[in-house]
Amino acid sequence: MNWDLVIAEYNSGLEVLAAILALVIFVSSLDDLFIDIWYWTRRIFRRARLERTPSYKALGVEQLRDREEQPMAIMVPAWQESDVIAAMVQNMVEVLEYRNYRVFIGTYPNDQPTIDEVDKMVRRFPQLQRVEVPHPGPTSKADCLNAVVAAIFEHEQERNVEYAGVVLHDSEDVLHPLELKFFNYLLPRKDMIQLPVASLEREWYELVAGTYMDEFAESHAKEMVVRESVSGMVPSAGVGTCFSRKALIALVGATRNKPFNIDSLTEDYDVGMRLSQLGMQSIFGVFPVTFHISRTSWTSKNRRELLMQMPLCVREYFPDQFRAAYRQKARWVLGIGLQSWEQIRWRGRTTAARYLLLHDRKGVITSFVSILAYLLVLHFILFHVGLATGWWNAYYPSLFQQGSVWRTMIYINAFFLAIRAVHRVYFTTVLYGWEHGLMSLPRMVVGNFVNCMAVARAWKMYLGYLFKGNRLAWDKTAHEFPSSVQLARRRQRLGDLLKSWNAVEEGTLARALEKQADTSAALGRVLVSNVLLDEETLAEAIAYQADLPRAHLTVELVKKHADELPVELAIRHRVVHIGRNKNNRPVLAVTSPLSEQALAEIRTGIGEEPVQRIAREGELAVALRLLRETDTDGRAHTVATGPLLGDMLIERGLLRREDFENAMQDYKPAQHGRIGDYLVDRGVILREVLEQVVQDQRSFFARATAEPTHERGFFGKPVGAA
């Protein structure tokens, strides 16, 4: 066999394949070039003509803030999100500059860890509501959202409220404070509003995650703007999307109470298309705001804190593992490139809309072309090295010889590639700085391999669905919430914190502050005693402030560990021993963090370093009395679940804390009896003062009993029940 001729035939065949690929790349590049030209033409026109007209006035932040707040709903689907949902909700409630909203979080009955985290947040934030999907998961994101939408309409009927807009978010999203203000300004004039989506900044060496930074920076700064301009149709990105009430009702009416398509894995893209077909007005909202950015420079190991002007957007972390990235993108390709081909086909209200469908779907082919092109370039390099070194000598005249049309096409494609690279560097640099702008070049190659694997997986899943009847289920992506956001909580005063949670009105808080300085638990007790705040919310607020977990007491728990802490210490410092944690450290239930002096005394008393958890005032009061007064059957005496006597005396200025703590140093429950009588006998307070405060304790109990909360309290009864 003449191996030289075999190699020549082989190389000639690959040149034919290369010519086909060059033609495909050329056509795809013309499509990209059209997007580029439209974007820059529009941008230059707006800058030169529209923005320089005397009547032009850019929308400002004050205009957003001046508009009266309309009721807004936020829906968050959650399947196996126990590791991020609490941090996301805490950050959302803390940063949003909006009060008139409610959050609906959809969970599945077979996902108990997520249910537990969401329920904890529901207890903490009164504007939260958990919605249970009526069947086990995973199903699809659309199925979860349909259950949430049904709950929103049900809540509207129960509370006689109509939400002007419903906002879609995921459990890893980081929101900007002005997001709801922006939606509120545009509603109800717009039917669907889509915010840009951006990746949170990664380190330079995180190449896979960096591809998301680059791709979203370009697509959401350029392509989404062109989409709206060309066709008036904006696809939902699945997060940062606001639907007007009119749009949501139209979707429900068109699909028999199923606003989101449960047969699509990209229900967001699908719903944008259907709203366009219904004649709804969509907008891609670009509104410049200020972001606080923490960035690492190549020239220094120290992080720089920057204030940057960039479009109002939703930020999140995307996967940095190659497998996780291509699996996530496979779901996007499957829904946008393949399922939509089957379900939406080529329906569009305009030729421009149908053209954009083609633009979206070309990736199911062109993603393979890029990798094949890499392999062919490598082959031709090896072939010419072989010719130069004499490994073989036979070859046929090349299709790409000098002056041929195919060689010219190679030059044109190289020029198009340079345009692509310049755009990628530019848009990445605008958002993330020149260092990431340069890194976007090698990340283009990484992104091509991720996208190729994603398309291959999407085709495999889709063909299995077509020919084997395989079910297309929610392909879960492990989410990550930025610890820097989670841990950088502002240590607000309790009053400010309660206001941000919508737990108390500003006027109510001001009146309470007239009676009591803002000393956290003390202020809370004033609000609770006047039935302005429930004990559960107060305990959650103190736990959040101190970054301590909650404790929930029961008779059995208190009695079981009664002997592990001297009663004198428990009563003196108002703590209850409730067992040990997983690290075998003693756990103490408290109503607010202990002072260093109290901790030192308890360490000495038990010989170990304890950890603290926050319990309700009423729970702890009953528990301390239970340590002293029990019947033979183990049940506690009927006692008032109210604030402790010492706290009330100190808060009213009737007793100094130092005097109280000094007196309690010698207190022995078995010897001295009730604390009030002991304080009178010691001459610390007058009998008349004691009787008045005890009467107020009883009044507190009476009010609490008359207005029980929905939470379950001590002895498993509603808080305030005897």
Give the domain ranges of the chain: 64-321, 546-716
Q: Average of pLDDT values for 58-69? A: 86
List, in order, residues 6 or more apart from 32 with CB less than 8 Å away: 416, 419, 420
Element of type H or E holding 619: helix 617-628
pLDDT band at 166 (very low <50, low <70, confident <90, very high): very high
What gap in Å lies between CA 445 and CA 373, rounded to an integer? Answer: 12
Higher per-residue pLDDT: 534 or 133? 133
Long-range contacts of 659-665, Cβ-Cβ distance < 8 Å, separation of 24 or more? 659/684, 660/684, 661/572, 664/571, 664/572, 665/572
Partners of residue 289 on adjacent β-strands: 310
What gap in Å lies between CA 449 and CA 447, rounded to an integer? Answer: 5
Hey, what's the torsion of the CAs at 297, 303, 307, 312, to 10 degrees? Answer: 80
DSSP count for the chain of H helices, then E strands: 30, 14
How much is the pLDDT for 635? 43
What gap in Å lies between CA 546 and CA 554, rounded to an integer? Answer: 23
Task: List the structure tokens of 405.
Answer: 């049309």
Whether 589 and 615 have beta carbons less than 8 Å apart is answered as yes
List, in order, residues 6 or more apart from 476 with CB less than 8 Å away: 79, 80, 138
Partners of residue 346 on adjacent β-strands: none
Distances from the Cα of 20 to the Cαs of 24, 308, 410, in angstroms? Answer: 6, 45, 11
Torsional sign, CA 486, 489, 494, 500: negative
Whether 285 and 145 have beta carbons less than 8 Å apart is answered as no
Q: Residue-wise over 608-647: b if at least 16 C-beta within 10 A, else e?
A: eebebbbbbbbbbbbbbbbbbebeeeeebeebbbbbbbbb
Task: List the structure tokens of 58.
Answer: 């850019």
Q: What is the pLDDT of residues 603-635, one digit of tens each?
A: 888 888 888 998 888 788 888 878 876 533 444
Mean pLDDT of the chain: 81
Angle between helices 687-706 and 521-529 in degrees, nearest 10? 70
Task: List the structure tokens of 667.
Answer: 């207190």
Indicate whether 382 pLDDT > 70: yes
Q: Is 482 exposed, middle or buried (0-12, 13-18, 19+ CB in 10 A)?
A: buried
Strands (E), 347-441: none
How much is the pLDDT for 636? 38
pLDDT band at 479 (very low <50, low <70, confident <90, very high): low
| 219 phi and psi angles, rounded to 5 deg | -70, -40
How much is the pLDDT for 100? 93
DSSP string covering 108-162: -TT-HHHHHHHHHHHHH-TTEEEEE-SS-S---HHHHHHHHHHHHHHHHHHHT--
What gap in Å lies between CA 289 and CA 198, rounded to an integer? Answer: 14
User: Strands 586-590, 576-580: parallel, antiparallel or unpaired by DSSP?
Assistant: antiparallel
pLDDT band at 182 (very low <50, low <70, confident <90, very high): very high
For the domain spanning 64-321, the CATH number is: 3.90.550.10
Q: What is the pLDDT of residues 350-369, one digit of tens each?
A: 788 788 888 888 988 999 99
Hey, what's the torsion of the CAs at 576, 580, 583, 585, to 10 degrees? Answer: 40
Whether 259 and 271 have beta carbons less than 8 Å apart is answered as yes
Q: Average of pLDDT values for 328-342? A: 81
How much is the pLDDT for 474? 61
| 73 phi and psi angles, rounded to 5 deg | -120, 140
How much is the pLDDT for 157? 93
List, in order, residues 6 or more apart from 664 with CB less than 8 Å away: 571, 572, 646, 675
How many residues comprise the chain?
722
Q: What is the pLDDT of residues 490-545, one digit of tens each?
A: 445 666 666 666 666 666 666 665 555 445 556 665 666 555 566 777 787 787 77
Q: What is the pLDDT of residues 673-703, one digit of tens each?
A: 677 777 788 787 888 777 777 776 666 555 4
Domain covering 546-716: architecture: 2-Layer Sandwich (3.30)
What gap in Å lies between CA 712 and CA 718, rounded to an integer? Answer: 5
How much is the pLDDT for 190? 93
Q: Is 136 exposed, middle or buried (0-12, 13-18, 19+ CB in 10 A)?
A: exposed
Angle between helices 535-546 and 521-529 in degrees, nearest 10? 170
What gap in Å lies between CA 68 and CA 71, rounded to an integer? Answer: 10
What gap in Å lies between CA 267 and CA 255, rounded to an integer? Answer: 13
What gap in Å lies between CA 287 and CA 566, rounded to an integer? Answer: 61
Q: What is the pLDDT of residues 254-283, one digit of tens each?
A: 666 678 887 776 777 778 888 888 888 999
How much is the pLDDT for 716? 38
What gap in Å lies between CA 567 and CA 626, rounded to an integer? Answer: 11
How much is the pLDDT for 551? 85
Lowest-confidence region among 9-23, 88-102, 166-180, 329-343: 329-343
Whether 216 and 443 have beta carbons less than 8 Å apart is answered as no
Q: Average of pLDDT values for 319-344? A: 84
Higher per-residue pLDDT: 114 or 524? 114
CA-atom Rg of the chain in angstroms: 33
Q: What percent of the chain has pLDDT over 70?
A: 78
What gap in Å lies between CA 66 and CA 239, rounded to an integer? Answer: 26
How much is the pLDDT for 499? 65
Q: Is 309 exposed, middle or buried (0-12, 13-18, 19+ CB in 10 A)?
A: exposed
Q: What is the pLDDT of residues 429-463, one digit of tens each?
A: 999 989 999 999 999 999 999 999 999 998 998 88
